[in-house]
Amino acid sequence: MRLALPAFLVLFGSFGYVEAETGGDAMAWLKKIAVASRQINYAGTFVYQHGNQVETSRIAHFVDAGGEYEKLETLDGPPREIVRNNDNVTCYLPDSKSVVIEKRTALRFPALLPGQLSGIADNYAVKKGEQDRVAGFDCQVIALEPRDNLRYGHKFCVELATGLPLRARTYSDKHEMVESFAFSQLKIGGGVTKDMLKSRFAGKSQSWRIDKSALEQNETSADTGWVLNNQPTGFRKLTEMKRSIAGRPVQISHIVYSDGLAAVSVFIEPMPKSPPPAGPTYQGAVNIYVRSQADQMVTVVGETPARTVKQIAESLSPRNR
């Protein structure tokens, strides 16, 4: 797993907010953002920046009566192509001549907001800022300002007509930019066709290694026997389950907490023979904390500040203790 280098420091701009509360126009914009990236056609190139690393990708997204289709290609470093048909994802890795087939598990730019926005207004102040310009399009700034230091701040600049996010930035409680996505070139609506989503590697990958191990993971809702004694304010448990993962001799416990926007995953498993170093690491906006609890390894992963991930990791314990 890559580890981010020291954070790229960019202070919050002074956006001259005119919508100070979470009601009205700002929330209407937020709902528009949540829908736009899933229901309109677009194709373009965007840049992802975290630390001093910059990655460029090309994306095409198409919607018809059959659902959502998407193709994402990395343009820097080793080639990689991800093709999505609704929730079915195929990842082509030509350097290793392999294909990974899995179910969609995470949100990606520009679809960074969940479909349901319940709880967001409890933990963030939603504010409308000034207009800006990104990739040749006029856009409206909408900010999510955290009500405490347990979560990140977010700023979206969204295309005026459709609400499609053209730029998304994540900020720490010190007003430092943690990561940024921004389109550098974009086409919306007309001119975007389903043909743009054809894989460049589908034909030549017939002899490649096919990895379907992610589809073989068995999940069952279950009481894991672990409790969170000091739950961070605003976070609630979404799911709790036991999972069988290919290559693991026993089931692992998986618990997910969320504040309506940010999610934190907890993984609990028997201590491996060669465990990773205990303590914190991070990659962009994602913080990771590993600790041992008796003969178990607890790994907490979340797109939250390090203090939130650490609080969850250190306050988990088996119920009988």
| Range with the poorest average pLDDT among 21-30, 124-133, 138-147, 166-175 | 21-30
Could you give the 3-state DSSP secondary structure of residue 200?
coil
By DSSP bridging, strand 279-283 and strand 226-228 are unpaired
Cβ neighbours of 200 (radius 10 Å): 14
Q: In the CATH hierarchy, which top-level class contains the domain 24-211?
A: mainly beta
263 strand-pairing partners: 258
Per-residue pLDDT reduced to its tens digit, 47-58 = 999 988 999 999
Residue 10: pLDDT band (50, 70, 90) is: very low
* pLDDT tens-digit readout, 146-193: 999 999 999 999 999 999 999 999 999 889 999 999 999 999 998 999
- Please state the domain extents for the chain: 24-211, 217-318
Task: Look at residue 8 in the predicted model and tell me its pLDDT.
Answer: 23
3-class SS shares of the chain: helix, strand, coil, % to 5: 10, 45, 40
Contact 184, 170 (CB under 8 A): no
Cα→Cα distances 219→103, 241, 301, Å:
13, 7, 19
The pLDDT of residue 321 is 56
Residue 89 and residue 80 in contact, taking contact as beta carbons nearer than 8 Å: no
Distance CA 90, CA 67 (A): 16
What pLDDT is stored for residue 107 in this prediction? Answer: 84
Q: What is the dihedral of CA 318, 222, 299, 110, to 10 degrees?
A: -150
Contact status, residue 209 vs residue 98, Cβ threshold 8 Å: yes
CATH class, range 217-318: alpha beta
- Residue count (the chain): 321
Q: Are 224 and 255 in contact (CB under 8 A)?
A: yes
Among the listed residues 183, 60, 175, the one whose alpha carbon sits nearest the alpha carbon of residue 133 = 183
Q: What angle do CA 153, 5, 173 make, to 5 degrees?
A: 20
Q: Are 57 and 70 in contact (CB under 8 A)?
A: no
For residue 91, what are the CA distances in angstroms to 4, 53, 74, 176? 23, 23, 11, 33
Q: Three-class SS of residue 312?
A: helix
pLDDT surpassing 70 at residue 21 = no
In sequence order, what DSSP letters do the residues of 225-287 get, joined into one string?
SEEESSPPTT-EEEEEEEEE-TT-SS-EEEEEEESSS-EEEEEEEEPPSSPPPSEEEEETTEE
